[in-house]
């Protein structure tokens, strides 16, 4: 006899670790909570985002995109705007933090895009 391991659904690279795969029953509930974490806190007050998760995913991707624009602009301008008010070490730390936040946001944008696709019914098929 063979040991039968339960098959786990394949998810694409970048799928949020806290969100079960789209084939899992009820996966949209944790997906909605995860998406709301990338939106303004007041968005949790609107029931429509929970009832229409594809709309929430669409909007969350836009919020993340806007945050990326802000991080990139801040990175370009911080030396000019704050250079005389920060020590060299302080400026270096601010630049490093902006870079780290940009990397985090890029990963979040990929993940949110994947969730958005899954909410639209698109499924990931792994390549051999």
Mean pLDDT along residues 98-125: 96
Its pTM stands at 0.86
Sign of the dihedral defined by the CA atoms of residues 20, 24, 28, 29, in that order? negative
CA distance 93 to 90: 5
Dihedral angle over CA of 106, 111, 112, 113, nearest 10: 90
| Residue ranges per structural domain of the chain | 28-119
pLDDT of residue 128: 72
With a cut of 90, say whether residue 2 has pLDDT above it.
no
Percent of the chain with pLDDT over 70: 93
pLDDT tens column, 19-58: 999 999 999 999 999 999 999 999 999 999 999 999 999 9
């Amino acid at each position: 006899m063979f040991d039968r391991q339960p098959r786990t659904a394949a998810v694409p690279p970048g799928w949020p670790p806290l969100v079960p795969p789209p084939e899992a029953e009820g996966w949209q509930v944790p997906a909605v909570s995860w998406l709301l974490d990338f939106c303004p806190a007041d968005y949790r007050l609107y029931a429509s985002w929970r009832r229409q998760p594809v709309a929430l995913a669409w909007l969350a991707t836009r919020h993340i995109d806007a945050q990326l624009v802000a991080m990139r602009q801040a990175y370009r301008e911080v030396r000019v705007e704050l250079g005389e008010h920060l020590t060299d070490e302080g400026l270096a730390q601010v630049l490093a933090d902006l870079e780290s936040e940009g990397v985090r946001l890029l990963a979040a944008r990929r993940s949110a895009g994947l969730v958005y696709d899954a909410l639209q019914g698109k499924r990931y098929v792994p390549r051999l």
